[in-house]
Copies of this chain bind each other. A is one copy, B any other.
Amino acid sequence: MNMILLKNVSYLNIEKEKIEDNYDILIENNKISKISSKIDIKADKIIDCSGKLAVPAYTNGHTHLGMTMMRNLADDLDLNTWLNEKIWPVEDKLTSEDIYWASMLSIVENIKSGVGTVYDMYYSMDRVSDGIIESGIRGVLTRGMMDISGGGDERIDELLELYKNYHNSGNGRVKIVPAPHSIYTCSKEYLIKLMDIAASFDGVINTHLSETKKEVEDCLKEHSTTPAKYLNDLGMFDLKVVAAHCVHLTDEEIDLISEKDVYPIYNPSSNLKLASGFAPIDEMLKKGIKLGIGTDGSSSNNNQDLIEEMHIGSIVNKAVTLDATSVPAIEILKMATLNGGKLTGFNNGIIVENALADIALYDLNALGFTPKNNMISALCYSTNSNYVTDLIVDGKVIMENREILTVDEEKIKYEVNRLTEKLLKR
């Protein structure tokens, strides 16, 4: 049995919304087995956590790990020019090896901002699954599917194969979920087919929803209703739904979502940078909706820094609502922890006995924690991803003193640089 003992820990008790001081935390295999003021036991590894702050490892609720080669390739452009002229022509030429190495780079960035679980939608997901397994983190891996340009059935064959080969692999760290890309890239029939498949898997489905005004306007024209209502009418909301973006929801749709098992994922940087708009986060919180938070892909964000995402995600809403009390630090932290655990189904994102041992450690001696006033504020407003020193996922140390132990960061950077050069010449 693998045992890790964290000594002298201060940790974020996310349910009680406070920092607990002076505890020892025992990890046995992949679980937190005991939290007590003093544990003396001969563990395989003892980590002295004096001067550290432990938080539940974060969940990046929506990303496209494989898009990193298009990072900084085209910015400050409107969405259509960006997608049609810049991103899609390059994306078309990506090989599965490109996607593997790009995903590895994104995984490294996620680990370095304390992320233990990613919710990733892309293709070549067999290779992405390999990368997740090697890296030691968790992934809900969703195959982005569309049929408007044909190939819908082949995608389904791939999905079924992927599910067979990878679902619950890596000691249960990988889950496969179907992901109709969006209402504008999937026919009604295809959406229904994928819902049926989702029901035959774990009853979970992932999609982009109401990202832009145009999507809503087109939906109104074509289906005489708004996107969330359209999906609900098709029966999708009888499943557990993880819906990225949700920027342009009507009040009626917010009510609808609050009654269903739907997790909107907030992607503030991407929504701002692509000029999609401001998601109604304050309204959704007030309706008790469980929100996740994500970085989106590095071609739109352009990074995988969930800690910066939390910061931006909180403060931008205050200006939207003209209310400085809206979307406080603790709510943003819940999106990245507790809610993250629920929306992925891993039920991690919390430091309690019997929870999965997914923990990130921060260096409390860092500038942003000085002086030591409210630590919950510090986590959201004054610290950054470089203050995360260690990451434990599934009871294993993945990063120690900012060195990633599972994969070779330098090799990954080298390969991404090399392959991007080749890609852009193709």
State which of B74, B324, B382 has its C-beta within 8 Å of the C-beta of A82: B324
Q: Which of A116-124, A155-163, A271-279, A348-356 is the interface stretch?
A: A271-279
State which of B78, B213, B316, B374 has its C-beta within 8 Å of the C-beta of A272: B316
Residues of chain B lying within 8 A (CB to CB) of residue A69: 371
Contact A273 B308 (CB under 8 A): no
Contact A275 B311 (CB under 8 A): no
Residue A72 lies at the interface, judged by CB distance under 8 Å to chain B: yes
Contact A72 B373 (CB under 8 A): yes
Residue A384 lies at the interface, judged by CB distance under 8 Å to chain B: yes
Contact A381 B302 (CB under 8 A): yes
Residues of chain B lying within 8 A (CB to CB) of residue A394: none
Which residues between 317 and 356 of chain A lie within 8 Å of chain B, taking CB atoms?
318-319, 321-326, 328-329
Which residues between 59 and 82 of chain A lie within 8 Å of chain B, taking CB atoms?
68-79, 82
Residue A199 lies at the interface, judged by CB distance under 8 Å to chain B: no
Min Cβ gap A98→B in Å is 11
Contact A328 B76 (CB under 8 A): yes
Interface centre among A108, A308, A383, A384 (most CB of B within 10 A): A384
Interface centre among A74, A76, A381 (most CB of B within 10 A): A76
Contact B420 A108 (CB under 8 A): no
Secondary structure dominating the interface of A: helix
State which of B213, B278, B308, B370 has its C-beta within 8 Å of the C-beta of A384: B308
Residues of chain B lying within 8 A (CB to CB) of residue A318: 272-275
With A108-B367, A319-B278, A416-B371 as given contacts, are A298 and B384 in contact (CB-CB < 8 Å)?
no
With A322-B277, A384-B308 as given contacts, are A413 and B316 in contact (CB-CB < 8 Å)?
no
CB nearest to A420 among chain B residues = B371
Contact A272 B319 (CB under 8 A): yes
With A82-B324, A324-B76 as given contacts, are A416 and B370 in contact (CB-CB < 8 Å)?
yes
Cα(A303)–Cα(B383), bound, Å = 8
Min Cβ gap A182→B in Å is 19
Residues of chain B lying within 8 A (CB to CB) of residue A39: none
Contact A381 B319 (CB under 8 A): no
Contact B370 A413 (CB under 8 A): yes
Contact B328 A75 (CB under 8 A): yes
Residue A210 lies at the interface, judged by CB distance under 8 Å to chain B: no
CB nearest to A402 among chain B residues = B386
Contact A417 B372 (CB under 8 A): yes
Residue A385 lies at the interface, judged by CB distance under 8 Å to chain B: yes
Residue A365 lies at the interface, judged by CB distance under 8 Å to chain B: yes
CB nearest to A311 among chain B residues = B308
Residue A128 lies at the interface, judged by CB distance under 8 Å to chain B: no
CB nearest to A423 among chain B residues = B371
With A73-B373, A324-B82 as given contacts, are A382 and B417 in contact (CB-CB < 8 Å)?
no
With A302-B377, A319-B272, A384-B385 as given contacts, are A370 and B324 in contact (CB-CB < 8 Å)?
no
Residue A197 lies at the interface, judged by CB distance under 8 Å to chain B: no
Contact B324 A275 (CB under 8 A): yes
Residues of chain B lying within 8 A (CB to CB) of residue A413: 365, 367, 370
Please, what's the 1-or-0 string for A383-405, where 1 marks a CB less than 8 Å from any CB in chain B? 11110000000000000000000
Cα(A175)–Cα(B69), bound, Å = 45
Residues of chain B lying within 8 A (CB to CB) of residue A358: none
Residue A170 lies at the interface, judged by CB distance under 8 Å to chain B: no
**Contacts A73-B374, A303-B367 given; 13 further ones with Cβ under 8 A?**
A72-B378, A72-B381, A73-B373, A105-B367, A108-B367, A112-B367, A275-B318, A278-B319, A298-B382, A372-B417, A372-B420, A384-B385, A385-B386
30 contacts between A and B (CB under 8 A): A68-B370, A68-B371, A71-B378, A72-B371, A72-B373, A72-B377, A72-B381, A72-B382, A73-B373, A75-B377, A76-B328, A77-B325, A112-B367, A269-B315, A272-B315, A272-B318, A272-B319, A273-B314, A273-B318, A273-B324, A275-B326, A277-B322, A278-B319, A302-B378, A303-B384, A312-B315, A316-B316, A370-B416, A371-B416, A373-B420
